[in-house]
Structure formats: C-alpha cells, structure tokens
Structure 1
Amino acid sequence: MTHKPICIGVLGTHSTGKTALLRRIEMELRGHGLAVARTGRLAKRAADIGLPKMSRHTVQSTEWIIAQGIADEIACGAQGAEVVLVDRASLDAVAYYEAALEYRGEHPHRLEKERIRLLAATQLPKFQLLLATVLDPDVPVDQSHDYDRRYRGLVDRHVHSLLADEQIPHQRVTSDSHSHSHAIERALQLCLKEAAV
C-alpha cells in the first residue's frame, strides 16, 4: 500500500439512515472519479459466526466487531481505495455494547469497559470526518425488522454521549434532507481537496 486513504465514518443507532447516507456519498465521489470502498454489515457477520448482537451484545462481540472493522478498513486501502467509507465507525460498537448493558441492567468490570473504549479510541485519529446520525422517533422504521424502541433510543443516547464526553469532532446528521445534503457536500469537499493535494 503506497497511500493512506481518506477515511469517513458514520455512526448512530439502527434505521437512522447511515447506510443510505454513505451510498449517496459513494455515488457522488465515484462521479468525481475517486476510487471508493465501503465497509459494513459487521453486526450481521458477527451473528453469522454465532456472536450475539443488538441488546444481547457482549464484550466479545463488541471486540470482534471493532477488530473486524479495522481489518476491513485496512483491506480497502490495500486494494487501492482512495476513500474508505466506514459504515459503523469503531465507537459505534462501544455505544451498542454500553446500551445493551444498560438495557439488561448489567454493570461490567470497570477495566473491561475502559479496555473496550480504548480499543475503539485508538481508531479515531484515522477518520478525517465522522458523521453521527440522530434518532428521529417520528420517522417510521422498516417493519420487517423487529426493533426494540427502548434499546434503539439507548443506543442513540450512548452514541452522542460518547462523542460529547470524549469531545470527538463530528457532524450531527438529522433526518432532515438539508442535513443529509450538508453532510454529503462536506464529505465531497473534503475528499476533492485531499485528492488534489
């Protein structure tokens, strides 16, 4: 690998438009001739190998998701991507895990919680842009998914609390079309500027 790709990550609770947002960014970037790769489907892949997901997340499933996400991002760069779009940045897995613990009324050992947070935090410097979707409870979700409203809300709260507590630079993306357009424009400007350097 002779270059370091531009890395844009998205995080947020389920069915808040993360994947659709990254698809739109990908289309715009490809339209400008950039080589783009998109990672994702980590929770499904974890479930496919027998790891728990959603409100049943454990420290092991969280660690696997973070580690597999890192491996996927590296593979994209090694295969020549100029831009890597990360569907569920590392901190997202921590929010899902901590929301699952709260949902179940469990309290992990302090050092275990710190270890998982640190693992995710080591990845944050690689992101040139983080987009955090915001839950709008009035927007209907896909009825084919059996979503627990309480858990979905907890994940949203944990995502934004982690970002605020750690003072991590990011852009909030609401369900409003103008907010999505602004996020896409910011990603496009960033990538075109970096590509020109």
Structure 2
Amino acid sequence: MQHPFRAFARTLSFAHPLGRFRSFEERIGIAVFTLALIFATTHSLWAHEFKAGDIEIVHPWSRATPEGAAVAAGYFTLKNHGSTADRLVSATGDIAGMTQVHEMAVDAQGVMTMKQLADGLEIPAGGEVTLKPGSFHIMFMDLKQPVKQGQPFKGTLTFEKVGTVEVEYAVDAMGGEHDDHGE
C-alpha cells in the first residue's frame, strides 16, 4: 500500500514547482535553504551597526529638522571591545557644513550648557559611551538641507587609534522620542 502523502505529492508534481524532487526531505531541505538565503541577504537591512577595529558603532540616528533649521544632532552608542582606550576625535556629516563632537550638561546653577569636546570623547577599554539627547552628541551645523524623517544620511567618525569609519544615520520623527533602536 502506498503512503497517503506520496500519493498526494504525486498529484502535485505537475502543478507544484518543487514537484520534480522525489522526497519530502529534499523539499524540506530546499525550503530551509531558501529561508536561510533570504535571511542572509536581508539581515543587513535589520542591522545598523558599524565597526572599526575594536570599536563598534551601534545605530547612528538623528531627528528630522524643521525647514530653515541650522543645526541637527546625531546619536549612537560606542562600544570598545579592545583592551586599550580609544577616542572619538572628529566627525563629518553629508548634511552639514561643519560637524563637532559636543557635550550638553547642566551647571551648578541649573543652566544647561553645550560645548565642543576639543580633545574628543574617550571610549574606555572594554567599555561603552552612549551619545544621546541631553548628553554627548554629534552636532551638525550649517545644514545644507533639512533632515527628513525616513531619509538617512551619511557621515564619518574618526577615532584616534582605529581611524575613520563611514556610517549612516537613520532619521526619526521631528521632536520624537528615541525608540531604543535596538540598543
């Protein structure tokens, strides 16, 4: 007596594109291979990390700006997987005439101040530093164009030891809260 699945599979052999394979195992193997191939080719669409030596840059992002804005900010997390400290010394952004590494802080009188980090930003060995609103950030000045939600832009980050790495900033809604971005 013939197995019921094989009889059913034979009826599909002309209509189904996998019908030329003889066994159920071969069909499962093709399906698994196809899914693995799809995952492998689209994984980079989900990931938004960049690496330079021991430094990992996790999800660079910015916010949309209103028409006529002169500045925007960039944020991300820097992870140092190495055994020695490194330093973010400069940055660029395709959208800006000038870009600086900044720190925002509140002084003893409760006044918020923002200043350029002339010596850059240290990333400790085996540690991480998060650039986020109200703290360390990249300041894009003299904007060439508005920053628009959903329209990423390119830039570079230069480190004292590992050199320069190209990054791409995702752009969130104007004034929107950072939605974790996988951090």
Q: TM-score, normalised by structure 2?
A: 0.26
Q: Which has the higher contact order (CA 8 A, sep 6+)?
A: 1
- Higher percent of residues as strand: 2
- Higher percent of residues as helix: 1
- Report the structure number with the largest CA radius of gyration: 2
Q: TM-score, normalised by structure 1?
A: 0.25
